[in-house]
Structure 1
């Protein structure tokens, strides 16, 4: 293993209360080159890794190592954490490159026994035998192929927790508005499930193999199962530069989507659910020409390009599967992870490429009913995503701020987040307990409602009151 250079020293502090400072403090504080990040009331956060090469997907192995896909380097990196007191301080100083392949860019997954690792490029999914203790990958094999296309090149990987023989692979569109997505046989804008127990001597062919979990999904980068009900959800990046009639409505529409895909395994004989893209999109702001009865979360059609004549607002809402929740436009959700109770789903919002649309660039929590396994908010809610970690100055984004990409949740329900643009990893932890084990935003989260800058309640972590705001939050 190699020691991290000074600028990439791994160190974290998770102060639970003022009194915990007596148990010892982390001796190193990493500093960001942009305005300090802010955690919501009820949460604490810390920059713990820097100096990475565009980190994207992350996952923990059985030994507690964090595995990171560094997309610019095309590497999977193992980060070893050690700790004297896991409650207050998480620190480490070693990394190891497990594999270096230029095509690796985002997806990563690990088998339940921790002995098999999966990673993906735009065209293929690879599998290795993994030895966590030795930090080695052996016996590389391609298991899915033929899914390359331009524009959206990441291929999210997800192994079902209830059916670990099912590997889900998400493939996005080849253009902003991609007419090939309307062809179910194209394999574009789909999530497919591949039964690994049936893998033969040749890799699965993406467009013709597996079972379609959902299609008409422009670019569903994040996938997760609810830990109690096993209900499958994804977060979808919707279209840009949309017009309706002669009106340019792209600033506020369409919204990004949280989609529900049922319980795995999908029936191979059932009609695969179509979520509407490329003809139907989810409405965020009803302030569009001829809105009729459309509300946030309704599906609508548009005129860039013209859809087939039989596609109308009415057919969009009767013939296609609507989103379970809709988020503000241009937020670009890239991952979703549940906490162990199933009361919260954390979503990383990567933010817009458009400097005139400073949305996103944050991690938010969506309240779930743990027993029912569905969001607490109604489908037409505009306040379901409650901010957890935000940039202090979103006007400086996207060039001078963190940009959330991959998420991982450990056994302590701490959230680990990669920032691909800055080469960093943050850790976020709740500082309050749920009251009565209930879901929702109860239990003292203190997040308020709505997005940052729109009524959210913000506070620096308790330790900052002891150590000084800039001393602790010099991220």
Structure 2
């Protein structure tokens, strides 16, 4: 009899869990998840979702290209997440990537190819009051279209905006006054600022789409998508060079920040990934920079490595890092790698992690080729980009779960550790508390079912 009761309880529990945890199925092969992790598909049929952000009420905001900004209420129990009551809060098809929300939930920022807008936002009502105010303009280019936003949590009233190049190899970006291929700093309380009015944090960055601020030390990091179809001394070397870059820009609040206003090489210098495939490479190593001058490029390598700021880490070419998110203690930096479009063997198409030490720096050295550890990947990249997800935006909820948008497939995934444990382990205590509450509620329900079974 006892075994029968236990079996009945197990069946009821499984059915209850299944009923309360809707399952979505992708149209492509199930993703490959690293050992110790779980990933669930929680939203579909979005219009090219890019940037993600949570407000102070725990609502998930999503930039949908050609549509605007949508919001979801999040109903969850550990890894069982349900996105409900979708609502369009900003109707503007020109918004295409960047999004930030102030900590008090009263201000929303979003970007187009040319402008940054500020909205009066009510997180309780999931609505904006009036039209957005243009606070930054003059950013239009014919090349890159994303304008990533980072609202500093360590330096008051500082908004970082990353603007890419006007073309693949944009020679005009050698002029710092032009504003292309730069990260600039703005006061978000001011309206009508031109991009070139902002203070330059870094330049010589082809397309630094990913931006993040270390939660402990406050150091600013960017992930740069490097140029395509590179040649050196008349030879094509684009299959395995140049590398994508993780660059360090120092601490915004540090008046003595020696990295402020540094040039990171583009369009003259590029990160080395596979030195054996670079003509006249000499002693160039992984993580150093090389030149692509029309003739005798190797003669300019010394300039690239003495007069330009080297990347802190390099990643495999064409992986296309799009977003960066630190965990609470800054021990792990998660990256969305949107993936290649012109590489013979597709690469990227994953969410990966880089380990950081107590000094606020990656644990791997600058010559490492193994700093990235994939946690969520496409199971068959040979089918990419046509039949696979392409990671774009990343965002943390308050329970330490990481959300990822896939713009190509119109989806959102949630990533946790196994059994629904918080991916951000420093938020595990709050997640565990929630788990205990949910478990107690479930036990109470099951107890009632036991009594009903005997009656």
Q: TM-score, normalised by structure 1?
A: 0.82
- 1:322–1:22 Cα change, 3 Å: farther
Report the counterpart of residue 452 of structure 1 in structure 2. Answer: none
Are the equivalent residues in 2 in contact too, given 1:211–1:266 (CA < 8 A)? no
1:51 matched to 2:41: no
For the aligned residue pairs, the C-alpha RMSD in angstroms reads: 2.2
Q: Which residue of 1 aligns with 2:6?
A: none
- Unaligned stretches of 5+ in structure 2? 1-12, 427-455
Q: Secondary structure of 1:417's match?
A: strand
Quickly say closer, same or farther: Cα 1:277–1:267, change in 2 above 3 A: farther
1:331-377 CA-to-partner distances (Å, cap 9, x unmatched) read: 000000011121110000001122524011001000001x2111000
Partner of 1:262: 250
Cα displacement (A) at 1:226: 1.0
Greater RCO between the two (CA within 8 Å, min separation 6)?
1
Contact 1:330 1:357 in 2 (8 A): no
CA change 1:164–1:418 in 2 (3 A) is: farther
Correspondent of 1:234 among 222, 230, 238 = 222
Partner residue of 1:296?
286
Higher-Rg structure is 2
Say how many residue pairs are matched: 407
Q: In structure 2, do the counterparts of structure 1 residues 128 and 105 end up closer, same or farther at CA, with 3 Å as the change threshold? A: same
Equivalence for 1:211: 199
Q: Secondary structure at the match of 1:24?
A: helix
Q: What are the Cα deviations for residues 353-408 of structure 1, in whole angstroms up to 9, with x where unaligned? A: 22524011001000001x21110000000000000100010000001100001111
Deviations 1:98-145 (A, max 9, x none): 011121000000112111000000000000110112111114210000
Structure with a larger share of its residues in helix: 2
Aligned equivalents of 1:372, 1:23: Cα separation in 2: 46
Matching of residues 175-324 of structure 1 within 5 Å: 175-197=167-189, 199=190, 202-207=191-196, 209-265=197-253, 267=255, 272-287=261-276, 288-303=278-293, 312-324=300-312
Give, in whole Å, the separation in 1 of the partners of 2:133 and 2:355: 39
Structure 1 residue 265 displacement after superposition: 3.5
Select the residue among 76, 90, 105 that pairs with 1:99: 90
Give the Cα separation in 1 of the matches to 2:311 and 2:257: 23
CA distance in 1, matches of 2:317, 2:340: 9
Match of 1:392 among 379, 397, 402: 379
Deviations 1:267-293 (A, max 9, x none): 599761000100000001111212211
CA contact (8 A) 2:251 2:257 kept: no
CA–CA separation in structure 2 for the residues paired with 1:192 and 1:166: 10
> Once the 2 structures are TM-superposed, how far is the Cα of residue 21 of structure 1 from its aligned partner?
5.8
Match of 1:414 in 2: 401
In structure 2, what is the Cα distance between the partners aligned to 1:97 and 1:160?
A: 26
Shift of 1:310: 11
Per the alignment, in what secondary structure is the counterpart of residue 172 of structure 2?
helix
Give the distance between the partners of 1:192 and 1:115, measured in 2 at CA: 24
Write the distance in 2 (CA, Å) between the matches of 1:173 and 1:118: 22
Check conservation: 1:279, 1:311, Cα contact below 8 A.
no
Aligned-residue offset at 1:93? 2.4
C-alpha displacement of 1:28: 2.2
After TM superposition, where is structure 1 displaced by more than 3 Å over at least 4 residues in a row? 20-23, 265-271, 431-434
